[in-house]
Structure 1
Amino acid sequence: MLKTNILLFVSLVMLPFFSWATKDLVQIPGTSVSMPKPDGFELSDTFAGYLNAKNSSSVVVMELPLEAFGQLSALFGNLETVQQSFAKQGVKVNDVTLLEMDGYKAPVVIGEQAVSGVSVDKYIALFKGQKTVMVTYNLMDTKTFNHEKVMASIKSIEIGKAASLSDKLALLSFTFQPEKPFNVADVMGNSTVSLTTFEGIDKSGEKPVLMIGSSMSKTRFPEPAKHATALIKSLVGFENLTITSESKVKFAESEGYKIVAEAEGKTAIQFVGYTKTGTYIRLVSVGNSEEMSKVEEKVNAIAKSVVPKS
């Protein structure tokens, strides 16, 4: 379950010259990460990290349960394995290197990803604190923000005390009402909340989990129905799914789509609402098909409670 959930969370995970040594550390809201703000970037109001509005480059901070560190550390330590794993998310991994930090060697995955026909260079660094921390650089301009500057940026990162769950919930761009047996587990990247039906870790990988997240950037969706289908197919294990139902719905006070799909003995229920401003909010719940049939009404009730913050 841990492996499945980590990949699911990650799948739910964009500069001019500057001198990192002379810049003050900035606390990334809702996270344990402090790092200097690169020139041309500002703190994002839609995710945890920095955004360069001129070229859509970003530095995204994602925190996962501490228990995930061992698995991710092992994954990042094997080039062939990390290439296979990230390929499923459309990321071509070119190298994995270790960056010498103060008393720690941070593994850094280096690769690229095609997004809407544009090649985006990616650097993904892994850290261990009170949480498992991943910092991802999505770079549209590597001429001014080259490899050496990225590595210097990563080296400047400091990990401190993790933010409280209540503080992180307050930073979400939407509100919702949990329904038993779903309980709030964590908030990731200031954009996604996870709810589980179990305590700790479900090693079986069968028990239902639920996530609600908002898109981290604005874009146009000329064919939202196709986009919603592509989103559910991006779930780990649902690449060759069978859609059992799909319909237009009102979700998160927006026009949207509900899709129910099955694959390999599991069921996924997904709601996606598309706003007029070009963002979307997505709810997805996944688990063993028999278990999902028991909580479907609760999933629908949570979906009805999702409201964007004004």
Structure 2
Amino acid sequence: MRWQAFFLAFALSCLTMGGAGAQPLQQAPNSRVALPLPAGYEPSPLFSGFTNEALGVSIVIAEFPGSVYERMAAGFTSEALSKRGIVDVRPGTLTRPGKHIYLRARQTTAAGRYAKLLLLIEEAGVTALVSVNVPEGLLDDGTATLSGLERALEGARVTASRATAKSTYRLEYLGRFREVATLLGTTKLFSIDGKPRDVTAGAEQPVLIVAPSLDQRPVVDLEATAKRAMSQLETVRDLRVIESRVVRIGGLDGVELTAHARDERANVEIVVYQVLLKGKAGGYFRIVGFYPRTSAPQLLGEMQRIAASFRLVH
């Protein structure tokens, strides 16, 4: 479960940024979850979920095995969520069947202040987390209401099969790394031993994560964005960037950072490698690797070669 919690936190950190009625169900891409959404919401090409581009509202869906529901539910506390920058957590009530937890909260990101609706459900062998993110300004001026979105959450269901969607990127070289997990439809985890791991495993086994940002807001300062993203990695402490350089990969401009750090839980010195590439239509793609400082130095070269093989899929 620990790797899933870190993986989810990493994916959601890539955020740069009316009423539901009797609406037909819309199934999220790369997901089994469907919701009755009002007009204006479209499936996102960047993650499993939906966006209303006119309003700036996003609905992000993460799926896990049904067996982890109780452990995830135990983390639905004000104290645990505050570590992820989610504050003013208040329990809410939804009229829906089955096991579920519903919370209202707030979060401040680089894109601004958001009201958040968090729904955790267990259904049909799937644990699903649905996170609704609404710019607070929309609530202040009455452009949007939480009650309408809550009705959509009441109608959330797990379908029998997963909706497929084409990936927006590929890695043409992986070397010894193997893909072991996907989250939010587009965030991918790779490890050498083929087992899912969180960043703590970077103290023992190299891990690599590739993810797009969750929106397409323009990236004004690439280096500042890259350093801020690296500094927010969960469990990584005493981060010291030792090298920064400009790169161009797959037709995209980017910044490559190499840093030394300490893993908080394992209390072991690790190397953090990151490439942040500016998307053509806004947003970014992020490649992050972790490995112990005692590992062979050629690991950095291997991760650089993997990053250099990144290509957009048209």
Corresponding residue of 1:179? 174
**Number of aligned positions between the proteins:** 296
Shift of 1:51: 1.0
Deviation at 1:145, TM superposition (A): 4.3
Is 1:109–2:103 an aligned residue pair? yes
Matched, 1:46 2:40: no
Higher mean alpha-carbon deviation, 60-69 vs 255-264, is at 60-69
Q: Does 1:55 align with 2:55?
A: yes
> CA 1:213 to 1:252, structure 2 compared with 1: closer, same or farther past 3 Å?
farther
State the shift of 1:131 in Å: 4.2
Q: Distance in 2 between matches of 1:281 and 1:294?
A: 24
The one-letter code sitting in structure 2 at the alignment partner of 1:249 is V
Q: Residues 95 and 47 from structure 1, CA distance in 2 versus in 1: closer, same or farther, beyond 3 angstroms?
A: same
* SS at structure 2 position matched to 1:160: strand
Deviation at 1:47, TM superposition (A): 2.2
What is the Cα deviation at residue 250 of structure 1? 1.6
Aligned counterparts of 1:189 and 1:232: Cα–Cα separation in 2: 20
1:65-84 to 2 correspondence within 5 Å? 68-76=68-76, 79=77, 83-84=78-79
Q: Is the 8 A contact 1:62 1:135 kept in 2?
A: yes
* Alignment of 1:208 onto 2:203: no
Kindly state the Cα deviation for residue 41 of structure 1 after the two structures are TM-superposed.
Answer: 1.6
Alignment map for 1:212-251 (pairs within 5 Å): 212-251=210-249
> Which stretch shifts more, 269-278 or 123-132?
123-132
* Cα distance, 1:230 vs structure 2: 0.4
Shift of residue 273 of structure 1? 0.9
Contact 1:173 1:309 in 2 (8 A): yes
Aligned twin of 2:82: 87
Q: 2:116 aligns with which of 118, 122, 125?
A: 122
Per the TM alignment, residue 69 of structure 1 is displaced from its structure 2 partner at its CA by 3.5
Per the alignment, residue 300 of structure 2 pairs with 296
Distance in 2 separating the partners of 1:144 and 1:154: 19
RMSD (CA atoms)? 2.7
d(CA) in 2 for partners of 1:45, 1:4: 25
Unmatched runs of 5 consecutive residues or more in structure 1 = none
SS at match of 1:54: coil
| Higher normalized contact order (CA 8 Å, seq sep 6+, divided by chain length) | 2
CA contact (8 A) 2:180 2:196 kept: no
1:188 matched residue in structure 2: 183
Structure showing the higher strand proportion among its residues = 2
The answer to whether the 8 Å contact 1:89/1:234 transfers is no
Is the partner of 2:149 in helix, strand or coil?
Answer: helix
Percent of aligned pairs with the same amino acid: 18
Give the partner amino acid of 1:126: L
Deviation at residue 62 of structure 1 after TM alignment: 1.8
| CA deviation profile, 1:215-234 (whole Å, cap 9, x unmatched) | 23222222211110001111
Match of 1:17 in 2: 19
